[in-house]
C-alpha cells in the first residue's frame, strides 16, 4: 500500500501551485463574484423594500448619513442570520461586533465575526469554571478533559477565522474545511459535558457553554448556506492538481518513486520498533518520543511483530505519521483501561490519534477489558484526514471511537458488542468486516452509535460494501441476543449502510431507540442496496427519521468523493472506490 504526505496544514502546501492553478483560480473568481453579486443584490433588495415601506405616505426622502449605513448593516446581518436556528442570538452578536461599521457588514466579514464570537464565548466559559468546586476525583478529571477539549476548540476556531482572511474567491474551496472544523468544535463541547458525572457540576458546565453552543450552531448554519449556494455554481470543490502519473503535483521525486512501487513493498522506515531489540526502540512510545521537532514529509514507523502492551497517544504535533506492522494479527497494541475501573471513556483508549494525517496499516489494536467492564475503547481517532488500511480493532463496548474530523477505513476488521463504532467524525468504512461478538447475557448488541448533535454538522458514519456477521461465539446465541445496526447517541445521529452484506443476526427492526422516543424524529438512518438475510427492509422501524425511500441519488451523497471530500485520499494513493459499487 501507499504512504505519502497529505498534510494540508504543513509548509509544503505552499508548493501546491501548479500548471492548473490559473484555471482553478478563474473558476473560484467566477463563483466568488457571483456569490458577492447575489449577496449584494439580496441586501440591496431588502434595504430598498424596507426603505419603501418606511417612507410610504411620506414625500420626504430619508436623509443620507450614518443612519443609512447602520440600516444597511442591519439588513446584511438579518440576511446572514436568516438560516440560523438561533436568529436573535445571531443578530445581537453580529450587531454588537459590527457596531454599525459599514465596512464590517460584508458577508465574509460577518462569517468571520460569527466564528470569532464562538471562541470568545468558549474563553468566557473557561473563565467561569475558575469558580467551580470539585467534590470528587471524577469531577476533577472530567474538568481536565474538558479544559483540553475547549482549548482544542479555540484552536480550531482560530484556524477557521484565519482561513477566511483571504478574499472571497478562496471560500469556494474552504467550505468543507470550515464545516469540518466547526463540527469538531460542536463535538468537543458535547464531549466536555458528557465527561462529567451526573450532578450540579455537569449542569453548571452545560449552562456555561449554552451560548457557545448556540453560536457554534449559527456559524455552521451560515457556512452551510454558503456551501449550498456555491454548490449550485459547481464551485465548492477544490480538486487536486495531478501529473500524468496521477500523483499530486507537489509531491517530491522520492515520494513518487516510493509510490510507484508500493503495492507489494513496504516503505523505508525512519525508525523501527521491535520487542526483541532488533530495532532502534522496544516500545512504540519510545519511538514517538524520539520524533524530531521538525521533519519534512512523512515520518514512517515500522512496528515489528509482537504484542505491545502500552497506552499510545499521537499528540497534535505528530503530524504525517505512518505506522505499519507485519499484519493486523501480528503487530498488536493492547490495553485494558475501562470505565468500571474508574477511567473516563475518553481516556480508556489503548491507541489514540490526535494528530492530523495519520496513516495506519497492517496493525492490530485491542482493549481486552471484556464486556463486564463496559466502556473500553481500543482506538480513539480525533486527528483530521486519518486513514487505516488492513487494520484490526478488537474490543467489546465502544471499541472504535471515531471522535471528530474526516476518517477513512479500508479493508479493516472491527469487532465488538455495544455501540462499538461510535463518535461524531465524518467517517467512511469501505470493504470492512464488522464482527458482532457475544455480550453479557443482559445486553443487546448495537453496531453504531453516531453522535451528531447539531443538524448543520457534516458528520456521520457510512458503511459501504462491508460485511456484518456474528462472531463464532455469538452464533449459538444469536437467536436469543438481539443485534441492531445502530441507535442514536445524539439528537441528529446520522448513519448510512449501503451496498453491504448483512447476515441473519440483525433484528428485523434494524435499529434500536436510545431512550424512548429520543431523536426518532431528528435522526438520519438509511439503508441502500444491501444484501443478505439481515438486509430485509419490510419490518424495519417506522420512525420519522428513518429514510424508507432512500434512492440512488441519496446514496451518492454518502460516497467517498462527496461525503468525505475524498481528494485527500486519492492523493495518498490508497485503495479507494469513490462512487457507488
Task: Name the residue with cell 482544542.
Answer: 152
Reduced to 3 states (helix: H, G, I; strand: E, B; else coil), residue 251 is coil
Q: Which residues have a Cβ under 8 Å from the Cβ of 73 and sit 6 or more positions away?
A: 95, 98, 100, 101, 102, 104, 105
- Give the other-Cβ count within 10 Å of 431's Cβ: 17
Q: DSSP class of residue 372?
A: G
Phi-psi region of 357 (alpha: psi -120 to 50; beta: other; left: phi over 0): left
How far apart are alpha carbons 398 and 149 in whole angstroms? Answer: 20
How far apart are alpha carbons 570 and 567 in whole angstroms? Answer: 5
Strand partners for 323: 301, 360
Catalytic-residue membership of 419: yes
Q: Where are any strands of DSSP class E within 240-327?
A: 271-273, 299-303, 306-309, 312-314, 321-325
3-state secondary structure 489-529: CCCCCEEEEECCEECCCECCCCECCCCCCCCCCCCEEEEEC
Residue 60 φ/ψ, nearest 5 degrees: -85, 135
* C-alpha cell belonging to residue 271: 525508525
Is the Cα torsion angle 118, 119, 124, 129 positive or negative in sign? positive
Catalytic residue among 5, 419, 424, 567: 419
Q: Which residues of 105-123 are buried (b: 16+ CB within 10 A; e: fewer)?
A: bbbbbbbbbbbbbbbbbbb
Q: Which residues of 538-559 are buried (b: 16+ CB within 10 A; e: fewer)?
A: eebbebebbbeebeeeebeebb
Reduced to 3 states (helix: H, G, I; strand: E, B; else coil), residue 53 is helix
Task: Name the residue with cell 430619508.
Answer: 62
Residues classed as catalytic: 419
Amino acid at each position: 500500500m501507499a504512504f505519502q504526505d497529505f498534510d494540508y496544514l504543513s509548509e509544503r502546501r505552499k508548493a501546491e501551485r501548479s500548471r492548473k492553478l490559473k484555471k482553478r483560480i478563474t473558476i473560484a473568481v467566477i463563483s466568488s463574484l457571483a456569490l458577492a453579486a447575489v449577496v449584494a443584490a439580496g441586501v440591496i433588495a431588502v434595504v430598498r423594500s424596507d426603505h419603501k415601506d418606511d417612507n410610504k405616505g411620506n414625500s420626504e426622502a430619508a436623509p443620507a448619513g450614518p443612519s443609512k449605513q447602520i440600516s444597511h448593516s442591519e439588513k446584511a446581518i438579518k440576511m446572514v442570520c436568516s438560516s440560523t436556528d438561533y436568529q436573535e442570538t445571531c443578530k445581537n452578536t453580529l450587531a454588537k461586533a459590527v457596531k454599525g461599521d459599514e465596512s464590517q457588514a460584508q458577508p465574509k466579514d460577518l462569517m468571520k465575526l460569527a466564528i470569532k464570537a464562538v471562541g470568545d464565548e468558549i474563553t468566557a466559559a473557561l473563565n467561569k469554571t475558575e469558580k467551580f468546586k470539585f467534590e470528587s476525583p471524577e469531577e476533577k478529571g472530567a474538568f481536565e478533559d474538558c479544559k483540553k477539549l475547549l482549548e482544542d476548540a479555540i484552536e480550531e476556531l482560530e484556524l477557521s477565522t484565519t482561513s477566511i482572511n483571504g478574499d472571497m474567491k478562496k471560500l469556494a474551496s474552504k467550505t468543507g474545511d470550515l464545516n469540518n472544523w466547526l463540527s469538531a468544535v460542536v463535538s468537543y463541547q458535547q464531549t466536555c459535558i458528557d465527561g462529567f458525572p451526573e450532578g450540579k457540576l455537569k449542569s453548571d458546565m452545560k449552562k456555561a457553554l449554552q451560548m457557545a453552543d448556540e453560536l457554534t450552531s449559527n456559524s455552521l448554519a451560515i457556512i452551510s448556506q454558503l456551501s449550498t449556494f456555491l454548490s449550485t455554481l459547481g464551485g465548492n470543490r477544490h480538486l487536486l492538481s495531478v501529473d500524468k502519473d496521477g500523483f499530486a503535483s507537489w509531491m517530491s521525486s522520492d515520494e513518487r518513486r516510493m509510490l510507484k512501487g508500493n503495492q507489494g513493498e513496504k516503505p523505508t522506515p525512519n525508525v523501527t520498533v521491535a520487542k526483541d531489540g532488533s530495532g532502534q526502540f522496544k516500545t512504540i512510545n519510545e519511538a514517538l518520543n524520539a520524533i524530531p521537532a521538525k521533519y519534512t514529509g512523512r515520518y514512517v514507523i515500522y512496528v515489528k511483530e509482537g504484542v505491545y502492551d502500552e497506552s499510545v497517544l499521537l499528540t497534535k504535533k505528530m503530524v504525517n505519521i505512518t505506522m505499519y506492522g507485519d499484519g493486523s494479527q501480528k503487530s498488536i497494541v493492547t490495553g485494558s483501561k475501562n470505565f468500571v475501573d474508574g477511567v473516563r471513556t475518553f481516556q480508556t483508549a489503548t491507541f489514540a490519534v490526535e494528530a492530523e494525517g495519520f496513516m495506519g496499516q497492517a496493525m492490530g489494536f485491542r482493549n481486552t477489558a471484556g464486556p463486564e467492564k463496559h466502556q473500553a475503547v481500543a482506538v480513539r481517532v480525533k486527528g483530521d484526514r486519518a486513514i487505516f488500511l488492513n487494520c484490526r480493532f478488537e474490543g467489546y463496548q465502544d471499541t472504535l471511537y471515531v471522535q471528530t474530523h474526516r476518517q477513512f477505513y479500508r479493508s479493516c476488521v472491527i469487532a465488538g458488542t455495544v455501540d462499538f463504532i461510535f463518535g461524531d467524525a465524518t467517517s467512511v468504512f469501505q470493504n470492512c468486516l464488522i464482527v458482532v461478538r457475544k455480550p453479557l447475557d443482559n445486553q443487546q448488541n448495537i453496531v453504531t452509535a453516531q453522535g451528531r448533535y447539531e443538524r448543520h454538522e457534516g458528520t456521520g458514519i457510512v458503511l459501504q460494501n462491508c460485511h456484518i456477521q456474528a462472531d463464532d461465539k455469538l452464533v449459538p446465541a444469536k437467536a436469543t441476543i438481539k443485534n441492531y445496526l445502530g441507535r442514536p447517541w445524539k439528537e441528529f445521529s446520522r448513519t448510512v449502510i449501503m451496498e453491504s452484506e448483512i447476515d441473519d443476526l440483525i433484528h428485523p427492526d434494524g435499529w434500536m431507540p436510545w431512550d424512548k422516543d429520543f431523536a426518532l424524529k431528528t435522526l438520519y438512518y438509511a439503508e441502500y442496496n444491501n444484501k443478505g438475510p439481515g438486509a430485509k427492509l419490510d419490518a424495519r422501524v417506522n420512525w420519522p427519521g428513518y429514510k424508507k425511500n432512500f434512492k440512488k441519488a441519496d446514496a451518492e451523497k454518502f460516497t467517498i468523493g462527496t461525503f468525505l471530500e475524498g481528494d485527500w485520499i486519492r492523493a495518498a494513493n490508497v485503495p479507494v472506490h469513490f462512487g457507488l459499487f
